Amino acid sequence: MDYKEYVIFKLAKESYGIDIDFVENIEKYTNITRVPYTKKYIKGVINLRGNIIPVIDVRRRFGIIDKEPDKDSRIMIINLVDQKVGLLVDSSSEVLQISNDDIEIAPKVTGNDDDYIKDIGKYNGRIIMIVALEKLLEIEALEEL
Amino acid sequence: MDMNQYMEIFIDESKEHLQSMNQVLLELENNKADVSHVNEIFRVAHTIKGMSGTMGFTKVADLTHEMENVLHLVRTKEIDVNDYIIDILFECFDSLESQITFIEDNSVESDEDNIALVNKLKEIVKTKSNTPSGQTTTAAPKQAEVKVVETVSNETFKIDVMQTSISILKKAIDAGFTVYKIRVVLSESCMLKAARAFIIFNSLENHGEVLLSHPSAEDIEDENFDNEFEVLYVTKESEEGIKKIFDSISEIDHIDIEIEDNLPEEVAPAVEAKKSVAKAVVEMSEDHESNDDGAMQGKSNKSKTSKTVRVDIDRLDNLMNLVSELIIVKTSMEEHDSDKSKNNMADAVEYLERITTSLHDAVMKVRMVPVERVFNRFPRMVRDLAKDLNKKIKLVMTGQETEVDRTVVDEIADPLIHLIRNSIDHGIESQDDRALRGKPNYGTVNLRAYPEGNNVVIEVEDDGNGIDPKKIAAKVVSKGLMTDKEVENLSDKEIQNLLFLPGFSTAEVVTDLSGRGVGLDVVKSKIALLGGSVDILSDVGKGSKFVIRLPLTLAIIQALMIFLDEEKYALPLNNISEITTIKSSSISLLQNQEVVLYRDKTLPIIRMKEVLELRSPEEREEREELTVVIVRKGSELAGLVVDSLIGQQEIVIKSLGSYLKGIPAIAGATILGNGGVALIVDPNQLF
C-alpha cells in the first residue's frame, strides 16, 4: 500500500502536515529579528548555524490570532527549491505515515484565494490538513508545477 | 577521458595567455620591428594551440595554428609586420577571446565561424604578402587543398634551423662550437623508444646542447614517433666524438650526422618555410580528427565553470599557520577549562582575538586580485576607440598592482569601460579643437588605482573639455528633469553631480559609442551596489576626473552598531561622516522634509525608527536632544536620528536570501555575538 510521511505541526489545536521531503529540521524557538518592508506574516529572520533564514508566522499566514511563543513553539526549517524558510508553529512533535487512500482533495469552501490547504488526510480518526507549501510561501514559479 | 576537471585550468590559463598576447600585440604595434614581441606572441599562440588541442577545441587550435604559421613567416623575415598584419592579429585575438568566453559559459566551442579569418591567415602564408588579398572572402579552401604532401627524401633532414634563433647559432659557431644535425634511427626491436630517446638526449646534453628536435620533445616523450628522430645539436665535440657518445648506447640502428654550416643567408628560406608549413598543416588535420571525440564529450556533459581565484602559495601557507594556531588556542582553552584559572583564560581569549583578526586578514588577501585583470583590456579598447573617432589618445595606467576583492574586480569593469569611453568620446576634443586651445596633439587619459585607508580609489582623468555646469543646467531644464529655479540654487559641484541623474546624456552628437541614454546613472548604481561612490572633479576647458571609491572587501566591514528601541542595527562605517547631537527645537520643516542648520548647511533629518517601520510618525516621542549619525552619500549628507549608540564593531555581511530580496534600506544582515541577528542599514537608499 502506498503511503507518504508527513511532519505534523499544530496551530490552535488543529493538526497540519507537511511532506517530510521538504522538512529539513525542527528548531526550538529563538529570538527573531524583525525585518521592515515585508509582508506582515513574515516574522523576521533568525540565525541558523551561520545562515540567515526568514521565518513565517504561520498563525498570521492562516489568519489565526497571534500567540506569544512558549516552550512548545517550534521553527520548522523548510527547504523548497533551494530556498530555506522557517515556519513558526505552536508545536511539532510527530511524523505520521498516511496512506494515499486516506487523502482527499480539500473541499473549496470559501472564496479565499489563499488555498494553502490542498488535501485532507485521515489518521486514526484525526483530521490532518496537508499544507501546499508553494502557496504558503507564495512562490509563484512553483505554482505551475 | 573526462576533460571537465581540466576545464577551469584551461579557461584560467587561456585567459592569462590572451592577456599577455593583448599586451604584446599593443607593444608590437608601437614597435613593429621588435622580433622579441613576435616571438612572444608565437609562444602564446603555440601554448593556446596545445591546450585547446588537448581539450578538443578544434576551432581555437586551428586558428592559433594559422597564427603560428603567419608569425613564423614574420620571424623568418619573409614578411614584415605592418598595420594589416597587426589588424589581423587583433582580429585573431578577438576571435580567440570570444571563443574562450563562450567555452567558459557553455563548456563547448561556439558555432561562430572563424573560417574567414583562418583563410586570411592562410592567404598570407600562401602569398607571403602582408597586404590584404581580394579573394579572402571566397569559399574556404578545404584543408585537403592546402595539404601539401610531404615529400622529404631520406637524405634531407626534416629538422629546420629556421625554428630556432639564428643569432644564437651564429654566436655558438663564433665561440668555437659546431652545429650538427643528427638523425638517430633506433633499432626495430627497441621496446621503450621514449626511454631510449631520453637516454640519448641525456648523453648528448652531457657534451653539448640539444637546441631542437623533430618531432618535438613532447612528442618524443609521448613516444609519438616512428623509429627515428632528429636533433639540432651544438657541441665542441668532433663528429667522431659524437659517434663515440652513441656507441655507448644500445638499441640504436644507426645515426646520420651532418654539420650545419649554411646558416640563414645561404638557406633558401622560401622552400624551407613552405615545407614546415606543409608539415604543420598535416599535423593540424590530424589533430582535427583525433579531437572530435573530445568535443563531443564536452557537449554531452555540459557544466558551468565556477569562479576561481589563483592564490599565491605563501598566502595559503600563512592561512594554514593561522589555523594551526587556532587549534593550539582551542586546546589550551580546553585545558584551562579544567584548572579554572581565570587569568590564563583571559590570555587565551586575547590570543584568540589576535588570531581571528589575522585570519580574517589572511582570508581577505586570498580573495584579492590585482586590478590589472580589469585594466589590461583598456589599452586595446582605447586603441580601437581612438581609431574609430580619429583622435590621438594616450592611455597612462598606474597602480595596476593595487589589489581588490575578486568580486569587485568582476563588477568594476563595465563602469570603467563606460567612464573611459565617456572621456574619449565626450571629454577629449577633436584634434582641430585641441590645436586651437594649444593643447598637445595627443589627448591623455589617466587611469589610476591606489589604496586609501580601507578603500581602493580608481580615477579616470582626461585632459579634454571638462564639464560645463551651464551646459548641464540647460540640459537638465530642457529635459524637464528640474526647473530653472531648482537649478539656480545649486552649486557648480551639485550641478556636475546631475550627470548621474537617470536619463541624462550631454553628448550633443549621439555617437555609436556613447550618448545612447544609458549613462552615468548606470555607472553610479553599479558602484553603489558594490558599496562604493563616484565623484566628479572638473575644470571647464582643462579636463575632468571621475573618482571611484570602493571598499577593499565586501564580506566583512566595520560598522557602527545602534539601538532603535530594542532592535540593534548596523550602519556601515564608511558611510558615516560624524556623530553629533542636535536639539529637537532646531528642526524646521522645509517642503515636508525635516532639516536642521548644521555648520551653515541644511541637513535633512531622517527618523530611522519611522523609516524602518518601527513606529509611525504619530508615535514619535519628544526628546530634547537627539542623537544624530551624519551619513554621506557622494557629496550629500543626511542626519539619521537613532536612539543610542552601541559602538564600533567588525561585522560579517550576510545576505537575507532570495526569499527576502529587494528590501529597501536594508543591505543585509549580520550575526551578533549572542547568536542573534542584526540588520545592516544601507544609508545610500535612505535619501
Domains of chain A plus CATH, in order, are: 3-143 (2.40.50.180)
Whether residue B247 contacts residue B267, with contact meaning beta carbons closer than 8 Å, is answered with: no
Q: Is the pLDDT of residue B401 over 50?
A: yes
Top pLDDT among B674 and B581 is at B581
Residue type, B686: L
Record: contact B659-A85, CB cut-off 8 A:
yes
Top pLDDT among B605 and B310 is at B605
Whether residue B26 contacts residue B2, with contact meaning beta carbons closer than 8 Å, is answered with: no
Q: Cβ of A37 under 8 Å from any chain B Cβ?
A: yes
Whether residue B392 contacts residue B464, with contact meaning beta carbons closer than 8 Å, is answered with: no
Residues of A in contact with B664 (CB under 8 A): 37
Give the domain range for residue B210: 161-267
Tell me if B156 is assigned to some domain. no
How far is B46 from B60, CA to CA, in rounded Å?
A: 11
Q: How confident is the model at residue B512 (pLDDT cuts 50, 70, 90)?
A: very low
Q: Which of B369, B401, B416 is the last residue of a domain?
A: B369
Nearest to A47 among B613, B658, B677 (CB): B677
The catalytic position among B40, B68, B260, B429 is B68
- For the record, the C-alpha cell of B391 comes out as 583622435
Give the range among B4-13, B199-208, B332-341 with minimum mean pLDDT.
Answer: B332-341
B293 and B355 together in one domain: no
Treating both helix axes as pointing N-terminal to C-terminal, what angle do B520-529 and B406-422 enclose, rounded to 10 degrees?
A: 160
**Whole-structure pTM value:** 0.47
Q: Which of B327, B347, B369 is the last residue of a domain?
A: B369
Q: Provide the number of structural domains found in chain B.
A: 5
- Among the listed residues B264, B222, B258, the one whose alpha carbon sits nearest the alpha carbon of residue B242: B258
B364 and B376 together in one domain: no
Strand order in the sheet with B588-590: B576-583, B625-633, B636-642, B601-607, B593-598, B588-590
pLDDT tens digit sequence for B425-447: 888 888 888 888 888 888 889 99
B468 and B598 together in one domain: no
Tell me if B148 is assigned to some domain. no
How far is B111 from B99, CA to CA, in rounded Å?
A: 9
- Among the listed residues B528, B530, B570, B533, the one whose alpha carbon sits nearest the alpha carbon of residue B554: B530
- At residue A114, the pLDDT reads 59
B389 and B536 together in one domain: yes
- Decide: residue B404, CB within 10 A, 0-12 exposed, 13-18 middle, 19+ buried: buried
Whether residue B557 contacts residue B651, with contact meaning beta carbons closer than 8 Å, is answered with: yes
B412 and B546 together in one domain: yes
B580 and B668 together in one domain: yes
B540 and B510 together in one domain: yes
Tell me if B305 is assigned to some domain. no
Q: Which of B369, B397, B412 is the last residue of a domain?
A: B369
- For the record, the C-alpha cell of B635 comes out as 557629496
How many angstroms separate the CA of residue A47 from the nearest CA in chain B?
Answer: 6
Record: contact B665-A36, CB cut-off 8 A:
yes
How many angstroms separate the CA of residue B662 from the nearest CA in chain A?
Answer: 10
How far is B433 from B122, CA to CA, in rounded Å?
A: 43
Whether residue B162 contacts residue B76, with contact meaning beta carbons closer than 8 Å, is answered with: yes
Residues of B in contact with A140 (CB under 8 A): none
Residue type, A43: K
B238 and B173 together in one domain: yes
How far is B283 from A7, CA to CA, in rounded Å?
A: 65
B577 and B566 together in one domain: yes
B68 has catalytic annotation: yes
For B668, which residue in chain A has the nearest alpha carbon? A52
Q: What are the residues of chain B with a beta carbon less than 8 Å away from any beta carbon of chain A?
A: 567, 611-614, 654-660, 663-666, 668-669, 671, 675-679
B496 and B417 together in one domain: yes
B510 and B629 together in one domain: no
How far is A41 from A62, CA to CA, in rounded Å?
A: 9
Q: Is the pLDDT of residue B297 over 60?
A: no
Nearest to A52 among B612, B657, B664 (CB): B657
- At residue B58, the pLDDT reads 82
Q: Is the pLDDT of residue B628 over 90?
A: yes
Question: Strand pairing partners for A11?
Answer: A14
B321 and B292 together in one domain: no
Q: Which regions of B510-635 does DSSP assign to beta strands (E)?
A: 533-539, 543-551, 556-564, 567-572, 576-583, 588-590, 593-598, 601-607, 625-633
Record: contact A137-B671, CB cut-off 8 A:
no
Residue-averaged pLDDT of chain B: 76
Q: How confident is the model at residue B337 (pLDDT cuts 50, 70, 90)?
A: low
CATH of the domain at B676: 2.40.50.180
Q: From the centroid of its chain, how far is CA B378?
A: 10
CATH of the domain at B212: 3.30.70.1110
CATH of the domain at B74: 1.20.120.160
Nearest to A33 among B614, B663, B679 (CB): B679
Q: How many CA atoms lie within 13 A of B437 on its CB side?
A: 20
B46 has catalytic annotation: yes
For B567, which residue in chain A has the nearest alpha carbon? A33
Residues 6+ apart with CB under 8 A from B555: B364, B367, B405, B652, B653
Residues of A in contact with B671 (CB under 8 A): 47, 50, 52
How many angstroms separate the CA of residue B385 from the nearest CA in chain A?
Answer: 44
How far is B367 from B308, CA to CA, in rounded Å?
A: 9
Q: How confident is the model at residue A109 (pLDDT cuts 50, 70, 90)?
A: low
Q: Write the ipTM.
A: 0.86
Nearest to A36 among B612, B659, B678 (CB): B612
